[in-house]
Chains A and B, each alone.
Chain A
Amino acid sequence: MEALFFNASNGFLEGVVRGYRNSLLTQNVYNNLTQCENLEDFRLQLSATDYGNFLANEPLPLSTAVIAEKATQKLVAEFNYIRTNAVAPLSTFMDYITYSYMIDNVILLTLGTLHERDTHELLERCHPLGVFDTMPALCVATNVEELYNSVLVDTPLAPYFRDCLSAQDLDDLNIEIIRNTLYKSYLEDFYQFVQTLGEPTRESMSKVLAFEADRRTINITLNSFGTELSKEQRAKLFPTIGRLYPEGNNALARAEDVDTVKACVEYIPEYKAFFDNASKSTGSGGGGGMNGGAGGDDSDGASLEDEFFKREVSINRDTFLQQFGLAVFYSFVKLKEQEVRNLTWIAECIMQDAKDRINDYIPLF
């Protein structure tokens, strides 16, 4: 039945977003890009694709930062086109997508302020999808309560923030706790919202969000080893959704080292495969790390991160097999974001002449 009325409000936009998805770079283009000798070559290769001459007006010594910024701008332009045309359930759904970027921006700004970085530089580094009006005011906050009362109370993040008001002052550990608490509330809230939507959306999005939650749970556990985060605090940061919830979460809350974590997730074959592959690639000396920003310092965590990204890409790719659902809008943003990360990685490798690691991007197709 949902097929009957879905198209009345979302049919056009679904067609458009599938069109965007079809113009993602193919494996062929990636092969060509990795052969490039310099960034001018890189630009020439991209001009034959959907990106067109998006770098045409840039002064010639191109930098990877410029490429990343322009590619993100393209993503944002496409997102905004869909967002401005969307109606009721879809518009809320797309707002939910932006909340995760808002959380990242809030954390980036508070962390930057703590380390006394330049405000303007920080604002430029914020993700454009998560920009909100009162964002510059974040830079003056010195403790959590001030942060909440002066800035966040007007933003959509306010209900998520209520859970972490107990944290007293802003230091590195507390900010990390705030980030994870915000994410936990956000994922749970998004999950609840998705349950109210019709069937194909609920099915696909539940799968995507469950994976996202499990990934966060495992990452929090791995990153908390050797820090002063207590086990009770750690357990509070785990999202209460996903395939690991509840017994996997309980086991992970008590985990002491990487091997226990591996044992905890063993009953889900996919996750077991991640750990197996990750240890294999560390053994052979390869292993990515292009996306290792959120991962730990050890190479084990980094290549595990790559496995997670690969899995995320494949889940998001699969949502396009279902028609008449909203999940494609979420998946498109995630796939495009991965593509931007891939381009940045390849450009960076070309810049630094690191040809041996250029193939460590995450293939989309």
Chain B
Amino acid sequence: MGYSSYYFYGLGISWISIFIIVGLYLLFTGQGETFNIGRYLEETSPYFWALLGIALCVGFSVMGAGLGIYLTGSSLLGAGVRAPRIRTKNLISIIFCEVVAIYGIIIAIVYSSKIQGASLETLHNTANTYTAAALFFGGLTVGLCNLMCGIAVGTTGATCAVSDAQNPELFVKVLIVEIFGSVLGLFGLIGTSRLWSDVSAKVADGDTLIERGSFQSDCWW
């Protein structure tokens, strides 16, 4: 316990000092204006935001599923030592956690189909910026929803395993709680589906904003 707190303390100190040193360097060499958040946001490629959204979506979803499976799995193993009858029934909790990762993958696939090539001139127009922002925040929402859903399902799954081992009647009752938990992940899915249908509408408007199939690999970076 003690050592990890020293570690994080040291890490924080070093980051803060790096910030101060770089900031002072920029300030005293007359380059203070290069630290400009607005310009950074403006100039960053829409591809970056779109792909970051997809990455966060898959990453957080898998994290949620992983956390859920280890929470459930370790309790299930332990409870199964003295009550082997629970092992097959409780695999359903593992499947519920697994589904969370699948939600993330599905959304990532849908989102990646929204990314198409754009030429350097049209890269920063309204529709492209909207698409990028929609994919970034949509991905983030789905990812966080799935992370929390995975934790919720995993914790109730662990409870389900130990309560089933003690009293078989409790299995169905705790399972209902677990099912409601797993619906949380669907909320993220449904909520953001509105966002990506908007993206399709924008693309279908077709006011020359996204040129399909004209991906020019050397044009925008």
Contact = CB atoms under 8 A, between A and B. Distances in A.
Interface in B79-104: 79-83
Given A11-B158, A323-B158, A22 B82 contact: yes
A81 B210 CA distance: 65
A16 B78 contact: yes
A17 B166 CA distance: 11
Contact of A19 (B70, B74, B151, B165): B165
Interface string A48-84: 0000000000000000000000000000000000000
Given A15-B79, A19-B82, A7 B71 contact: yes
Interface in B151-172: 151, 155, 158-159, 161-162, 165-166
Contacts of B52: none
B14 to A, nearest CB: 26
Contact of A3 (B71, B77, B81, B165): B71
B78 A23 contact: no
A4 interface: yes
A20 interface: yes
B165 A22 contact: yes
A16 B81 contact: yes
B75 interface: yes
A267 interface: no
Contacts, number: 67
Contacts of B74: 7-8, 11-12, 15
B81, B151, B155, B159: residue with the most chain A Cβ atoms closer than 10 Å: B81
A13 B78 CA distance: 6
Interface string A1-32: 00110011001111111111011000000000
B65 to A, nearest CB: 14
A11 B83 contact: no
Contacts of B77: 11-12, 15
A4 B71 contact: yes
Nearest to A6: B71
B67 interface: yes
Nearest to B151: A4
Interface string A21-47: 011000000000000000000000000
Contact of A14 (B151, B155, B162): B162
Nearest to A12: B78
A309 to B, nearest CB: 24
B142 interface: no
B80 A11 contact: no
B175 interface: no
A16 B75 contact: no
Interface in B29-79: 67, 70-71, 73-79
A17 B75 CA distance: 11
A188 B71 CA distance: 33
B166 A22 contact: yes
A16 B70 CA distance: 16
Interface residues on B, range: 20 to 34
A12 B158 CA distance: 10
B176 to A, nearest CB: 18
B71 A18 contact: no
Contacts of B71: 3-4, 7, 11
Contacts of A19: 78-79, 81-83, 165
A12 B82 CA distance: 12
Contacts of B166: 18, 22
Contacts of A323: 158-159, 162
A20 B82 contact: yes
Given A323-B158, A323-B162, A22 B83 contact: yes
A15 B162 contact: yes
Nearest to B155: A3
Contacts of B80: 15
Contacts of B83: 19, 22
A127 B83 CA distance: 30
Nearest to B77: A12
Given A4-B151, A15-B165, A323-B159, A23 B82 contact: yes
Contacts of B158: 3, 7, 11, 323-324
A82 to B, nearest CB: 10
Contacts of B81: 15-16, 19
B78 A18 contact: yes
Contacts of B165: 15, 18-19, 22
Contacts of A18: 78-79, 162, 165-166
Contacts of A20: 82
B200 to A, nearest CB: 37
Interface in A73-129: none
B75 A14 contact: yes
Contacts of B161: 15
Interface of B: 67, 70-71, 73-83, 151, 155, 158-159, 161-162, 165-166
15 contacts: A4-B67, A4-B155, A8-B74, A11-B158, A12-B78, A14-B78, A16-B78, A16-B82, A17-B78, A18-B166, A19-B78, A19-B79, A20-B82, A22-B83, A323-B158
Given A17-B78, A19-B83, 10 more contacts: A4-B67, A8-B70, A11-B71, A11-B73, A12-B77, A15-B78, A15-B162, A19-B165, A23-B82, A323-B159
7 shortest interchain CB distances as A-B pairs? A15-B78, A19-B82, A11-B74, A15-B79, A12-B78, A7-B74, A16-B78
